[in-house]
Amino acid sequence: MTSTVRRAGGFAVVGTLALAAPSLGAAAFAPFAAVALLAAFVVDDGPLFELFARPGDRQDGRLNGLAGFALAATGLALLATVPRVTMPLSVFAAAVLILAYGNLGARLVDSRTSDESLRAAGFVAAAVLAGTAGQAAIASLTGEAMLLARFTLLAAVGGLVGAVLRTALYERDDPLVMLSIGLVLWGVEVLAGPVSPTQTGVALALTVALGYAAYALGTASVAGMITGVLLLLFAVVFGDFGWALVLVSFFGVGALATKFRYDSKAERGVAEDNDGARGTGNVLGNSGVSLVAVVGYAAAQTLGYPFVSDLLVLAFAGSAAAAMSDTLSSEIGGLFDQPRLITSLKPVPAGTDGAVTWQGEVAGAVGAAFVAGVSVLVLPIPAQTAAIAILAGGLVGMTVDSLLGATVEGAGLGNQAVNFLATFAGALGAVIVWIPL
Question: Which of 127-136, 249-258, 375-384: highest mean pLDDT?
Answer: 127-136
Task: Give the pLDDT mean for 136-143.
Answer: 94
Task: Give the pLDDT mean for 405-429.
Answer: 88
Q: Over pLDDT 70: what percentage of the chain?
A: 97
Backbone φ, ψ for residue 356 (5° rounding): -135, 155
Question: What does pTM read for this prediction?
Answer: 0.91
pLDDT tens digit sequence for 312-340: 999 999 999 999 999 999 888 888 878 88
Q: What residue type is assigned to position 116 of the chain?
A: E
Helices 358-378/306-333 angle, 10° precision: 150
pLDDT at 276 > cutoff 70: no
**Which of 127-131, 277-281, 355-359, 362-366 is the least confident region?**
277-281
**Helices marked H in 304-357:** 306-333
Backbone φ, ψ for residue 344 (5° rounding): -130, -15
Report the alpha-carbon distance of residue 316 to residue 286 in Å, rounded: 12
Burial (Cβ within 10 Å: 0-12, 13-18, ≥19) of residue 384: exposed
Report the alpha-carbon distance of residue 123 to residue 171 in Å, rounded: 13
Rounded to the nearest 10°, the torsion over CA 289, 295, 298, 300 is -70
Backbone φ, ψ for residue 156 (5° rounding): -65, -45
pLDDT tens digit sequence for 185-232: 999 999 988 888 888 888 888 888 888 887 777 778 888 889 988 999
**Across the strands, what pairs with 341?**
355
Q: Over pLDDT 90: what percentage of the chain?
A: 61
Task: Give the pLDDT mean for 410-434.
Answer: 90
DSSP string for residues in 163-207:
HHHHHHS-GGGHHHHHHHHHHHHHHHHHH-----HHHHHHHHHHH
Q: Could you tell me if 301 and 309 are in contact, meaning their C-beta atoms sit under 8 angstroms apart?
A: yes
pLDDT at res. 273: 66
> Where residue 406 falls among pLDDT bands split at 50, 70, 90?
confident
Task: Tell me how long the chain is.
Answer: 437
Task: Give the pLDDT mean for 389-402.
Answer: 94
Q: Could you tell me if 324 and 254 are in contact, meaning their C-beta atoms sit under 8 angstroms apart?
A: yes
pLDDT tens digit sequence for 68-79: 999 999 999 999
